[in-house]
A and B are shown apart, each in its own frame.
Chain A
Amino acid sequence: MNSDRRRYRVVHRTDYHYGATMIDGYSVAHLLPRGTPSQVVHASRVASEPHGDEVDESTDAFGNHVLQLGIHQPHERLAVVAECEVDVRSQELPRRATSWERVAAHISGLRGALVADVLPFTASSRFVAVDEHRKLLADLAYLAFLPNRPIAEACAALSTLIFERFVFDPSFTEVSTPLDEVIASGRGVCQDFAHLAVGAARSLGLAARYVSGYIETDPPPGEPKVVGADASHAWCSVWIPDHGWLDIDPTNGIIAPDRHVTVGWGRDYADVAPVRGVVIGPSSTQELTVSVDVARV
């Protein structure tokens, strides 16, 4: 580990109040963080109230840790508490300044084992409907992806562009806001901005994945508190040949995020939603509250 290693303890609490008694419930949680080239997971656990009658852990096709939770008793609420302790260090930047066009060309001709790792993240997906909004997304992307610009620089520019052009507005959106609406309104939350960055990159033929995780709650002395700290966070990661994945956080307009804890990644939010699932019981109005605490230890 480099000297820039930081250790974080994260507590992520999700509370569902169903407003009625559910007789059965099944949830899937992407809450157990995975290791990455710049992250080591020391400990992680998930607890629920009521306790899960069945708890199954598995790994999905993208290598994320998945927890499936069955609550087979009458319950009106469900609390899921995830805790973890991880070491993170700043991600490495690519050493070679390859232009983004060359990266796109490389991807379009990519063959062999890397296809399985990279190509899933070039496609259109439910929340990143590139095929549907290609023109809109490319128009946005070209503002940052200038001709022959090195890929890392272009990514940083995209991150800054979204940060400057869009207003963070927690009241505005649900997670499933289509990208054309996000672009039209100029507003959104971190999931939307992550989807937007992912979509913009994919519209140019690049591979970009959606990363789910957290960002440090309390800023170091003298620095401002960052946005998205009270809830789980999301950002974008772009693939660069001979380097790997480069994270950018368009919600905060930064590249090389260094106060971020990664939980998992996928094509979009749907692949790594922190908690989702189904309940069986009467129709009712559900309430959902989420709190996240990321502390440096």
Chain B
Amino acid sequence: MPVLAAPDGAPVSVARALCASIAAQPDLARRQLEADRLLASEGAGHIVHDLPIRADGRSVSLESRPWRLDPIPFVVDGAEFSELTDRVIARMATLEAVLDDLYGERSLLARRIVDPHRLWSSQRYRVAAIGHRLGPRWLTSYAVDVVRSASGEWFVVKDFTDAPAGLGYTMLGRSVIGRVQREAIAHRPPGSSVRSISTFTDHVRDALADIAGTDSPRIVVLSGGVEHRSFVGQSYVATELGLNLADGADLVVRKRRLWLRSLGGLEPVDVLYRRLEDDRLDPMEVNTEGSRGIPGVLLAARSGGVRLANAHGCGVLQDPRLANMWDEAGEWVDARRPRTAGEQIPDVAPLRRLDTEERGAFVPDVVPGFDGTAVLDRPVVMRLQVVAGDRGVEVMQGGSARVLALGDDPGVPTSATAKDVWVVGGTVAPPRLVRRRPLPQVDLLTSVPTRAAEALYWSGRAMERAAFITRSLDVVLDRTSGVVDAPTAEPWVGTSIDMVATIAGTDMNTTTGTDERPAVLAVGDTLFALARQLGSLLAEVSSVREYFSTTAGRVFARLANSRATLKDIVEAGVERDVRGDPAGIDVDVLDAVLIDLASLEGLWSESIVRGPAWRFGEIGRRVERIFGVIDAVRGAFMGQHGSAWPFDHEDDPQLADYDRRRLVELILAVNESLVAYRRRHRSDVELSLAAHLVVADERNPRAAAAALRTIEHESGQLGWDDGARLARDGLATLSRGDYTDIEGIGDVLSELWGVCDRIARLVVSTHLITPVDPRPMGWRST
């Protein structure tokens, strides 16, 4: 192992040398930006916070968890890491034995090694788990936070035994820093390369299959829902493992078995890789918090109808009020535990936990980190990921670390900066072959949780509506140069604002007449409505992130930024008491939204596999497009409440005609059909021709008719005959329609609206019945 020398002649480890060379990079600021951008594109930064309302009115409240990745990794020498790894493996085995005793024989209690009074006072000690172990082990996955003292000794800060978080974030961190520090990884001298973490997911998958007790088990990742603080990590893990990500409401217990509600009906689940804490798992159990869980899942587990990883009850070791008991308990069980031949538990000095009281006086080691402007030495806490299977225990050869701010308790890091952990050099154990148990070829195309289909459906609708709102406002502001409120404005301008309001769905706020509701207010409301639609879109796509590519992730991140800008504009307007003063609107933000939505439409069509979930999303998009066309035409020509053409000024037919033409142009532009019109008709724009083009002309891909044709096709693909039939009915209505005057067009639109509304209601009620979270039955009161 090459040993370098510091100026004073002392040897410098490979790890410190590598770290120092990265810390000396002149372009760390640029790398930081790159890391920020890559992280944001995975939704790990800010995309999953502050999203207001789902499209169907259910609220989503998300914690704000922005975090950054330091472009300088935390580097550990291989030899040091291997020794630490052995001690971590031993600790996991010890904790396993402690759990086995706490819920089984309970000698630790009988002998008062563990204070029974304190244990029983913890709600994390799960009564329902008392009895015997279900499955081969309590802990399939384990994570531990460790910290290195200034003298180089490692201590445990926290054990994670319940649903250890951080695996997804660790893989995410490596994929980001792997790109940001590409050349530092590539140009390593022989024998000191950065160890790969890529095989760890194979070990996880293997270990999950090991607990099933059946051949080719079906495994599902149970998330805590999009509101859960580690949802992004959970969804990343599911994608990396190639497993379905399900929410509590996607799963159901029947006949003492666990099933996934999928579009194809109920599918059995053999192993539940739960990312939800064990005191939230089954609302049927005593002392269960919240109601995100699966009623009866513990009955199923007790009956062998599903295996849980980790087993129910493991969370007790994480109760902070009990945490100082486990080291002693561990010593006791270790002393009693027979060492079986061939056991892979290394015989090493046990890792010791740093007690809360000791932390104040603890002097941690420091490593260089980039704080955005300068390189500073800071302590870090490293989290290691471990998985146990039938053939042994595997520690990820890397991890992630949290940077500690000055004076931080290592157990409670306050800084939101993470570091990728690199292990370099040392003797690498020959890679243990991953057996790759055969997992059933679950067709992730058809095996789709109903919730995913639903989320894509509402994503499609929100995406299309957002595009309509943006285009309409953009076009109107463009053609009026932002002057929508001047007393000299031409009559069509006020109507154009009505059209925008109709499309944005804010027309109900309106009182008649611009006197009472200045157009600028309507613009402000529209911006607010747009921010809301983008919020819905982002909330929905975040919950089905696994369907979208990384590129799409970048678009989401940009849309999230635009949404924040829109909200700023609206709020600034409120302060000045003139919401969204059009003269002050940065039209660039609308342009950015338009372009990003267009990119998303492209990615939607080109980068998502055409499974049933996508088809429901397509139906959602087309349904919303039809509604958008109807709103545009009605908003411009029928007033907000379907009243007749507003400009029949008989005394000045020319003005009326002029206004009429401007509005027809607007409709075409809003529907992106102006070019199509000009290529087809030589004449000045005329209402009847334009209406036919945007409503009934199937050759125009933006027409309602084309949308109906798509709905017919996708319904057919899904085997949804009613949908296809309704779409055909709609098409027949359109071809029969009379487009020569406003009354005829109004009739066609009414019928079209009826058909589209039936399709929208039916698709939701027959296919996308939202699984609802359970609510408690009333408590008796005497």
Q: Are A and B associated in one complex? A: yes
Cα of A2 to Cα of B771 in the assembled complex, Å: 56
Q: How far is the CB of A121 from chain B (nearest CB, A)?
A: 8
Q: Which residue from A267, A278, A290 sits with its C-beta under 8 Å from B774?
A: A278
Contact between A26 and B295, CB atoms less than 8 A apart: yes
Contact between B111 and A58, CB atoms less than 8 A apart: no
Across-interface contacts of A78 in B (CB, < 8 A): 777
- Residue B599 interfacial (CB < 8 Å): no
- Residue A98 interfacial (CB < 8 Å): no
Across-interface contacts of B780 in A (CB, < 8 A): 14, 175, 231-232, 273-275, 288, 290
- Residue A297 interfacial (CB < 8 Å): no
Cα of A170 to Cα of B780 in the assembled complex, Å: 11
Cα of A174 to Cα of B296 in the assembled complex, Å: 26
Cα of A248 to Cα of B116 in the assembled complex, Å: 25
CB-CB nearest in chain B for A287: B778
Across-interface contacts of A224 in B (CB, < 8 A): none
Within 8 A of B (CB), among A117-150: 119-120, 122-126, 131
Contact between A278 and B283, CB atoms less than 8 A apart: yes
Across-interface contacts of A175 in B (CB, < 8 A): 779-781
- Residue B375 interfacial (CB < 8 Å): no
- Residue B299 interfacial (CB < 8 Å): yes
Q: Which residue from B117, B283, B777 sits with its C-beta under 8 Å from A123?
A: B117
Cα of A281 to Cα of B252 in the assembled complex, Å: 14
Cα of A266 to Cα of B127 in the assembled complex, Å: 11
- Assuming the contacts A122-B120, A173-B781, A271-B127, asked whether A115 and B775 have C-beta atoms less than 8 A apart, the reply is no
- Residue B254 interfacial (CB < 8 Å): yes
- Residue B558 interfacial (CB < 8 Å): no
Q: Which residue from A189, A228, A274, A281 sits with its C-beta under 8 Å from B772?
A: A281
- Residue B109 interfacial (CB < 8 Å): yes
- Residue B578 interfacial (CB < 8 Å): no
CB-CB nearest in chain B for A16: B777
Q: Which residue from A27, A72, A231, A278 sits with its C-beta under 8 Å from B291?
A: A278
Cα of A274 to Cα of B291 in the assembled complex, Å: 20
Cα of A276 to Cα of B287 in the assembled complex, Å: 12
Contact between B778 and A286, CB atoms less than 8 A apart: yes
Contact between B112 and A111, CB atoms less than 8 A apart: yes
Q: How many residues of A contact B (CB 8 A)?
A: 61
CB-CB nearest in chain B for A205: B117
Q: Which residue from B120, B303, B775 sits with its C-beta under 8 Å from A279?
A: B775
Q: Which residue from B123, B777, B781, B782 sits with its C-beta under 8 Å from A275?
A: B777
CB-CB nearest in chain A for B296: A26
Cα of A123 to Cα of B254 in the assembled complex, Å: 35
Cα of A124 to Cα of B774 in the assembled complex, Å: 28
- Assuming the contacts A116-B106, A189-B782, A271-B127, asked whether A278 and B254 have C-beta atoms less than 8 A apart, the reply is no
Across-interface contacts of B772 in A (CB, < 8 A): 23, 280-282
Q: Which residue from A119, A126, A277 sits with its C-beta under 8 Å from B123?
A: A126
Q: How far is the CB of B641 from chain A (nearest CB, A)?
A: 31
A 176-190 to B, binary, CB cutoff 8 A, 1 in contact else 0 = 100000000000011
Contact between B254 and A72, CB atoms less than 8 A apart: yes
Contact between A112 and B776, CB atoms less than 8 A apart: no
Q: Which residue from A115, A131, A176 sits with its C-beta under 8 Å from B779?
A: A176
Q: How far is the CB of A108 from chain B (nearest CB, A)?
A: 9
CB-CB nearest in chain A for B129: A61
6 contacts between A and B (CB under 8 A): A61-B131, A113-B110, A116-B106, A267-B120, A279-B774, A281-B772
Chain B: residues with CB nearer than 8 A to chain A?
Answer: 106, 109-112, 116-121, 123, 127-128, 130-131, 252-256, 283-284, 286-287, 291, 295-296, 299, 302-303, 771-782
Extra pairs beyond A123-B116, A123-B120 (6, CB < 8 Å): A68-B284, A68-B299, A120-B116, A120-B120, A122-B120, A124-B121
What 7 pairs between A and B have smallest CB-CB spacing?
Answer: A278-B774, A123-B120, A119-B116, A26-B295, A123-B121, A286-B778, A124-B121
